[in-house]
Amino acid sequence: MLTARITEKYFSHGLAYYISARYAAFAPFSPVCGLLAHYAIEMFIKGRLSVGRSESELRKISHDLITAWMAFKPEYPTENLSRFDAVIEEIHRFWDIRYPERLVIKGMECSIDWSGVAGDHRPVTLYRDPSIAVPVHDSIHVTAANSYYAAV
């Protein structure tokens, strides 16, 4: 089992990635802001998942936000977290374009949306119509971060 200190580090790393993602979005550093948002959500989710799981169990999830999210949701069976499913899927798409080759070959258009409520989603297509959106809503990060304090 991981110690509470390691769990705390997941959340402090997540917060650092989150702040960096917001800065990168304002800069605008695209697609870096999306990849930093991916890392932030990954750290927040794994922070909760680290309670009662081994390091090897967390490593099996790797950087797959979809897998991590599916493991996270049952931790809160009374909450309707499905409204964040599309946002998680959208941000996970940044993992596929973290290297320049895919951007050069297939292209990309990135939009950053600061409006709406947490869980809002505007569908985009990554490659055929090469665009991707970064929904920046604090509630998804706060929901994941609050899970740490509920767990300890």
DSSP secondary structure code for residue 130 in this structure: -
pLDDT tens sequence for the chain (152 residues) = 558 899 999 999 999 999 999 888 888 777 888 899 999 999 999 999 999 899 999 999 999 999 999 999 999 999 999 999 988 998 898 888 888 888 777 777 776 666 666 555 554 434 444 455 555 554 444 334 444 444 44
If you write DSSP's letter for every residue of 52-98 in order, what string do you get?
T--HHHHHHHTT-HHHHHHHHGGGSTTS-GGGGHHHHHHHHGGGGGS
- Across the strands, what pairs with 112? 134
Q: Is the link from the previous residue into 77 a cis peptide, with omega within 30 of 0?
A: no
CB 11 within 8 A of CB 147: no
| CA distances (Å), origin 55, targets 2, 39, 59, 70, 149 | 7, 17, 6, 18, 20
The pLDDT score that the predictor gives to residue 143 is 39
Domain around 114: 4-151
- Please list, in sequence order, all residues whose beta carbon lies within 8 angstroms of the beta carbon of residue 86, skipping any fewer than 6 positions away: 119, 121, 123
The pLDDT score that the predictor gives to residue 123 is 46
CB 51 within 8 A of CB 32: no
The pLDDT score that the predictor gives to residue 107 is 73
The pLDDT score that the predictor gives to residue 2 is 55
Q: How many domains does the chain have?
A: 1
